[in-house]
Structure 1
Amino acid sequence: MTRTTTGAGLVTREPQEEGTGRTLVLADWTAAAPADIAAAGYERVLVEEPLRAGASLDDDLRLLRFLRECTGHTLRLDWVLGGRPLVGERNLHHLVPPVRGVDGAAECAATWLGAYRYGAYYYRVGPGFVTVKDVRPDGESVHLTIDGESADHFRAIAEATSVADLDEAATEALADAVEFGLALRGEQAVLLLPFRMRHWPVPYVAA
């Protein structure tokens, strides 16, 4: 197996066995966007240090956004949870789970890993509309179709990292999204909870 430094915080490992795909090793999970990692042809991502949670809600939402995007791009992510996130567990279990937890997060990580099912909470984008499917096992199943300006606001919230990224109309829509369990908001950070489904059918669960 070769290990080659490719940039700040980025290391490439060639697969140990045929068919496992290229692995990107991240010393710093903020060093690259999941969309760029997937576009570069990587299938697996290994984060070397535990991903820290529980210090602030804004930081947790930024971390969950990273996990959401990794899930949406079907990246096989190997990571360790450090600390308990400041959000309810139902807001975690549809995202790619940790392999284990440290610093008081062992139980949270084990529950997350056991509850995870790919496709439990996602959205798809069509011409002028968005569909949302929520079949997480610990609540009522929901299927939504959002169109018109509301679909525009949904997509704006999906792309936003902070409230400052949203115009007045989208900020008002964010309040509704939070109320209906579609999004979370911190002091500054914004997170749309469902991930975008880009691949169907999905071989991810067989990995």
Structure 2
Amino acid sequence: MISLKSNQLKSTQCKNELDEFESLLKNNSEIDETQLLNFFKSRPQLILLMGRVVGIDAPRNYNNELPLIGKFRADFVVANGAMQEFVFIEFEDAKDNSIFTKKINKKTSVHSWAARFEKGYSQVVDWYLHLAANNQTQNMKSEFGHFEIKYKGALIIGRQSSLSRGDCNERFEQRRSKSLIDSKHITCYTFDELYEAMADQYAILESF
């Protein structure tokens, strides 16, 4: 069965970790995937808050680098207290060429989708198809404790500044808003967008 740690969002600790994330983004124009993974692994409040951003209203359980029914692996998993709602999150690097290539394709006069984006996006597609194939099976029950779960997948990649070239921002918006896999959207954020969404969620939590 999937192994998750239990925790909850705590105001002071959450704010401290969120401030550290802001500093990381401000002080580094490009950040590699390993650095980002290690940064989040040591900050459980950020993992829980990220889960809330992606789709878990009351995140309580989490872990990193977990297999999904023995075939694929998610960088981060966040679940609610009842272990019936999950988000599976894939990290790629936060670089200027993570989402689109810097050079314009001479044949099409556009910036091509980057290999890192296609790799991460395809990973989430694989999760969706694998989970759908195992829905209502003993494999699902053994892994998650239920024959059926609610779930979303997310790809976090790149920097917001890289989308200012040509029509890159428009195409990024279209891909994440109009593409469906097994009737599900794949949530995509740049790391800058993720920080802003996390800061918004923290402000909401603090208002109660």
Q: Scaled by the length of structure 2, what TM-score is found?
A: 0.30
Determine which structure has the larger helix proportion and give its number: 2
Q: Scaled by the length of structure 1, what TM-score is found?
A: 0.30
Q: Using CA pairs under 8 Å that are at least 6 residues apart, name the structure with larger relative contact order, 1 or 2.
A: 2
